[in-house]
Amino acid sequence: MKKRITMAALTLLLVLPNFIDAQESDFGNWLVYIGNKKLDSKWNIHNEVQYRSYNAIDDLEQLLLRTGIGYNLSENNNNILLGYGYILSQNYTEGIDDKIDVNEHRIFQQFTTKQKIGSVALSHRYRFEQRFVEADFKMRFRYFLGFNIPLTGKEDNKYYLSGYNEIFLNTESSVFDRNRMYGGLGYKFNKSLKIEIGYMNQFFETSNRDQLNIITFFNF
């Protein structure tokens, strides 16, 4: 079992630099915290903080704060959620070193359903966003398909592989917004806390962007 974990970690470390070299894009870093507070068997509160940097950590690209209240249509599954997000983006403009602040307020509705195929856990998320970006109003649809594959047995089910693909579609012209593809290695400390480290590529219409992601999940 330890050999499987070691091979997975080595594969991630070996493949990641090849992805970076293959893309003409800057390599950034995302630090992500995702929390979930279970109020009872049906209701939950979602909270999330993302610090996105142009490089390792000290050049803010985007700060995202997101929260929402959800309701399970069935036991521990089929969750509908109404949420709000605040996003501060600091964008560079071509030929200028100074950054421009862009503020966004976002309302979103989502439906998440989970399923299991053998030992593989799948998650589908459908999200519809209403975005107030400075003086502009935009709407966007997102579909997320994620998976977790345990690398250890039931007695010691701590290490796992994680991956997802998420596509973003606008409701107006230029329908395709972006696609995110992620793969990482995770570790479960206990039932409430797990952490992942992985590589994500964002594909836009005319460019690509690479990020190292460090994600903490906390249920309380």
pLDDT of residue 186: 97
Shortest CA distance to 43 belongs to which of 13, 81, 11? 81
Taking the C-alpha atoms of residue 174 and residue 46, their distance in angstroms, rounded to an integer, is: 31
The answer, yes or no, to whether residue 13 has pLDDT greater than 70, is: no
Please, are residues 194 and 182 in contact by the beta-carbon 8 Å criterion? no
Bridge partners, residue 93, by sequence? none
pTM for this predicted structure: 0.86
The answer, yes or no, to whether residue 11 has pLDDT greater than 50, is: no
159-170 per-position pLDDT tens digit:
999 999 999 999
Tell me the pLDDT band of 16, cut-offs 50, 70 and 90: very low
The answer, yes or no, to whether residue 31 has pLDDT greater than 70, is: yes
Taking the C-alpha atoms of residue 151 and residue 44, their distance in angstroms, rounded to an integer, is: 29
109-161 per-position pLDDT tens digit:
999 999 999 999 999 999 999 999 999 999 999 999 999 999 987 666 799 99
Three-state DSSP at 206 gives coil
The tokens describing 142, both together, are 């997102």
| φ, ψ dihedrals at 133, nearest 5° | -100, 100
Taking the C-alpha atoms of residue 195 and residue 188, their distance in angstroms, rounded to an integer, is: 7
Rounded to whole angstroms, what are the CA distances from 185 to 152, 195, 202?
A: 13, 9, 19
63-88 per-position pLDDT tens digit:
999 999 999 999 999 999 999 999 99
176-211 per-position pLDDT tens digit:
999 999 999 999 999 999 999 999 999 998 889 899
